[in-house]
Chain A
Amino acid sequence: MIPGDPPPYLYRGPSILARFVFFALLSLLLLFVDTRYQHLEKLRAGIAVALYPVQQLARWPRTAAQEIGVYFASKKALERQNTALSLLLLDWGNTAQEAQTAQQENARLRELLQLKAQTSRSTHAVEMLYDTRDPFVQKITIDKGQMHGIKESSAVLDPYGVIGQITHVSLLTSDVTLLVEKNHTTPVQIERTGMRSVLYGMGAGVPMELRFVSPAADVRIGDRLVTSGLGSVYPPGLAVATVTAIDNNTEQSFVHITATPAAGVASSRYLLVVDALTPAPMDSPSAAPSGEGKSNGKSNGSRGKNNGKPSGNRRTS
């Protein structure tokens, strides 16, 4: 007799096979609903809150080890780091001042041209909790959530550029889907020419693909790709990737262009979350008389296909 085996004459509920079929079907249903729709966010957030203390406890040894490491760091190493950081600060302070001047100038020019003023977005500094844990998706978890004002589909940056986008927000943590996630799309433009296109993630370790570029377009190896600001998710002008290869020999109507991400995807510990603008209703042509306004309107129209709801379309497309 196997331990724990009740006598066979006792009623033991539905048979094991029936229970298996029920829960397997329920899992498949969950898989289907979670891939296609957004209805399960509440369930996910609830479980995430319950899981939070366990996660914090699991992280505790590493945090403690880091703190001990900091405590025993040699004075020389700290001084060296301090000097390097001061130099960096000087460099970036200069850049920031220039940027501020440029921003003021820009605002004045916009006023002169009667363009809509660019809204500034709120940012949150966050710390990464976990790397990719699921082998099928490229994701990280950060230590701030709904309680800290993080919103879904905000952009996430590291010092070198965009690393991804918030896809799940729970009370105390959020999940970030990285740019390299397969079929994750990012609206970009080539910094040199201003030509707009869409950058596709192809999975971890595989270069990203710039799609919908005609063979006649002016693209060179080494071109920097920055966010175009279309789709209202990313602020315009953030570094995304660098073009690494151009394959003109395909028989298709588009060139095959690959690019590597600018940000150290999944390697920086501290990150910046930049809130997404809530997509405004499409402006009527009279309200947006400038070229910029029109292109924005156009993008809003195509947004539904490419990048409007990244968390929803990411897996399905």
Chain B
Amino acid sequence: MKPASLPPRSPPPRFSGPSLQPINPNLLLPPPKLWFITVTLLITLLIDLFPLSDTFAPWRPELVALTLLYWCTWAPRFVGVSTGFLLGLVMDVANGSVLGQHALAYTLLAFGADYFRRRIVSFPMWQQIVFVALLLELCALAVFLVRMMSGGELSSAAYFIVPPLTALLWPLMQFLLQWQQRRAALSEH
């Protein structure tokens, strides 16, 4: 086809028809900034450290893991396995657990996120949630096995129910964590 016959360049179309709709409109956003990633990780850590009573503590959503998973998926240049490991060490100290427990979990999570990154972003939202739930559950299971081998004892069944519940927060997390990118996209136009 001759170049002359191409239509004049126009801004990306509004996604009206299903055939023209990109798989994930988020792919059009500019890349996130490092400062924003750091700040969001710190804020989720802060929320996670908020003291809760005994009744609610086992049901605390794993927000740090979810944020890590999000950034591993969407900002793999900044956040990866090593970030997961360091964040895990911090969580271990904060929780007073054996050093290496969360480090292992988050390393696993970051690797899973990176490995399946291209697949996760192309899924519709409900499939993404299922995928995130599976990843979080897998990493909970890994920690469980390691702790059982070193003679630990699980006190509450909530441990295995929390990961899928946390995954339900994925859309909300995505909405919040895209704030900086959306703003950057707006200021570009």
Whether A58 contacts B146 by the Cβ 8 Å rule is no
Chain B, residue nearest A139 (CB) = B96
Whether B58 contacts A2 by the Cβ 8 Å rule is no
A281 at interface by CB-CB < 8 Å: no
Chain A, residue nearest B46 (CB) = A58
B97 at interface by CB-CB < 8 Å: yes
C-alpha gap A51/B118 in the complex (Å): 34
A130 at interface by CB-CB < 8 Å: yes
A44 at interface by CB-CB < 8 Å: yes
What's the nearest-Cβ distance from chain A to residue B68, in Å? 13
What's the nearest-Cβ distance from chain B to residue A200, in Å? 12
How many A-B residue pairs have C-beta atoms within 8 angstroms? Tell me: 171
B19 at interface by CB-CB < 8 Å: no
Given A30-B100, A31-B100, A138-B155: A133 in contact with B107 (beta carbons within 8 A): no
Which of B49-57, B130-138, B167-175 binds A? B49-57
Whether B96 contacts A26 by the Cβ 8 Å rule is no
Which of A17-25, A235-243, A255-263 binds B? A17-25
Q: How many residues of B contact A (CB 8 A)?
A: 63
Kindly list chain B residues whose C-beta atoms are within 8 Å of the C-beta of A57.
46
What's the nearest-Cβ distance from chain A to residue B75, in Å? 5
Partner of A19, one of B80, B100, B117: B80
Among residues 39 to 66 in chain B, which have CB atoms less than 8 Å away from a CB atom of chain A? 42, 45-54, 57-58
Kindly list chain A residues whose C-beta atoms are within 8 Å of the C-beta of B156.
135, 204
A315 at interface by CB-CB < 8 Å: yes
Among residues 145 to 160 in chain B, which have CB atoms less than 8 Å away from a CB atom of chain A? 146-147, 150-156, 158-159
What's the nearest-Cβ distance from chain A to residue B5, in Å? 27
Chain A, residue nearest B30 (CB) = A3
A54 at interface by CB-CB < 8 Å: yes
Interface string of A94-115 (1 = CB under 8 A from B): 0000000000000000000000
A134 at interface by CB-CB < 8 Å: yes
A271 at interface by CB-CB < 8 Å: no
Given A3-B27, A27-B88: A134 in contact with B96 (beta carbons within 8 A): yes
What's the nearest-Cβ distance from chain A to residue B76, in Å? 5
Given A3-B74, A54-B49: A31 in contact with B150 (beta carbons within 8 A): yes
C-alpha gap A55/B88 in the complex (Å): 16
Whether A24 contacts B147 by the Cβ 8 Å rule is no
Among residues 62 to 82 in chain B, which have CB atoms less than 8 Å away from a CB atom of chain A? 74-78, 80-82
Whether A34 contacts B99 by the Cβ 8 Å rule is yes
Partner of A58, one of B49, B53, B96, B147: B49
A: contact size bracket: 35 or more
C-alpha gap A170/B114 in the complex (Å): 35
C-alpha gap A135/B99 in the complex (Å): 14
Chain B, residue nearest A48 (CB) = B93
B125 at interface by CB-CB < 8 Å: no
Among residues 256 to 284 in chain A, which have CB atoms less than 8 Å away from a CB atom of chain B? 266-267
Whether A23 contacts B152 by the Cβ 8 Å rule is no
Given A4-B76, A31-B99, A136-B147: A131 in contact with B51 (beta carbons within 8 A): yes
Whether A136 contacts B97 by the Cβ 8 Å rule is yes
Partner of B117, one of A2, A26, A48: A2
B123 at interface by CB-CB < 8 Å: no
Whether A59 contacts B51 by the Cβ 8 Å rule is yes
Whether B99 contacts A19 by the Cβ 8 Å rule is no
Partner of A3, one of B31, B48, B49, B57: B31
Kindly list chain A residues whose C-beta atoms are within 8 Å of the C-beta of B141.
none
A5 at interface by CB-CB < 8 Å: yes
Whether B94 contacts A4 by the Cβ 8 Å rule is no
Whether A141 contacts B96 by the Cβ 8 Å rule is yes
Partner of A24, one of B108, B152, B158: B108
Given A27-B104, A134-B97, A137-B96: A61 in contact with B50 (beta carbons within 8 A): yes
C-alpha gap A30/B98 in the complex (Å): 8
A-side residues, CB < 8 A to B, are 1-6, 16-17, 19-20, 23-24, 26-35, 40, 43-44, 47-48, 50-51, 54-55, 57-59, 61-62, 129-139, 141, 168, 175, 182-183, 202-205, 266-267, 315-317
